């Protein structure tokens, strides 16, 4: 995407990451609104090409860009450094940088993996699915065993624990481990 006039004015026509080359691209720092100037960074073609590489020689420029007053530049610099945190120089920069917690959360959002509940056969489970028990389960606190092959209708996913779901068996709501069910 070509560089917008307002972004070019903010960066003075220079890449906000390496500050060595002319800025030619708008880089939107996701997941925030990519159309807002405050969520964009002006970068050069070299930085764009190196984005997925671990070339320490090029990315040493992040030692300076992380201190840029623009939150988007800080977030992108932090994100790129974090991806290279196994390199000592990058870890040192991350340890020395103190930023607003919002900027760090924004930067780290690229590394978040959504919680996904999966059954014993790696099928993705969703609220309202029907499942079948793959083995007999002793139900704690109840006087029955749920037989293998029992159908549990309209399950609910347990928040913050991808290994558990809730379902009703014999008119009782119970917690079931996902490793003992198959999506029906």
- Asked if 77 and 17 touch (Cβ cutoff 8 Å), the reply is yes
Statement: residue 18 has pLDDT above 80:
yes
Question: CB under 8 Å to 35, separation ≥6 — which residues?
Answer: 28
pLDDT score at 164? 94
Contact at 8 Å (CB) between 88 and 133?
A: no
SS3 letters for 68-96?
Answer: CCCHHHHHHHHHHHHHCCCCHHHHHHHHH
Q: Does residue 2 have a pLDDT over 90?
A: no
The whole-number pLDDT of residue 53 equals: 81
Q: Give the closest residue to 151 by CA, choosing from 168, 165, 174, 128.
A: 168
| List of domains in the chain | 5-111 (no CATH), 131-183 (2.30.30)
- What is the Cα–Cα distance from 39 to 33, expressed in whole angstroms? 7
Count of CB atoms situated within 10 Å of the CB of 75? 27
| Residue 1 pLDDT | 55
Q: Which residue has the tokens 């002006």?
A: 42
Backbone angles phi, psi at 38, to 5 degrees: -65, -10
105 pLDDT tier (thresholds 50, 70, 90): very high
**Alpha-helical segments (H) within 28-136:** 45-50, 56-59, 62-65, 71-83, 88-96, 101-108
Higher per-residue pLDDT: 91 or 114: 91
């Amino acid at each position: 995407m070509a560089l917008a006039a307002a972004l070019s004015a903010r960066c003075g026509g220079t890449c906000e990451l390496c500050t060595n080359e002319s800025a030619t691209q708008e880089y939107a720092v996701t997941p925030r609104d990519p159309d807002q100037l405050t969520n964009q960074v002006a970068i050069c073609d070299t930085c764009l090409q190196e984005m997925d590489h671990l070339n320490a020689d090029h990315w040493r420029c992040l030692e300076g860009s992380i201190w840029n007053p623009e939150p988007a530049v800080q977030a992108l610099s932090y994100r790129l450094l974090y991806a290279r945190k196994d390199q000592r120089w990058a870890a040192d920069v991350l340890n020395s940088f103190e930023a607003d917690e919002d900027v760090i959360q924004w930067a780290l959002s690229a590394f978040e993996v959504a919680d996904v509940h999966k059954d014993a056969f790696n099928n993705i489970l969703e609220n309202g699915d029907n499942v079948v028990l793959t083995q007999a389960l002793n139900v704690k606190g109840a006087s029955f065993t749920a037989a293998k092959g029992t159908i549990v209708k309209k399950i609910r996913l347990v928040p913050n624990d991808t290994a558990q779901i809730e379902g009703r068996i014999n008119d009782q709501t119970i917690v079931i481990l996902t490793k003992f069910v198959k999506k029906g």
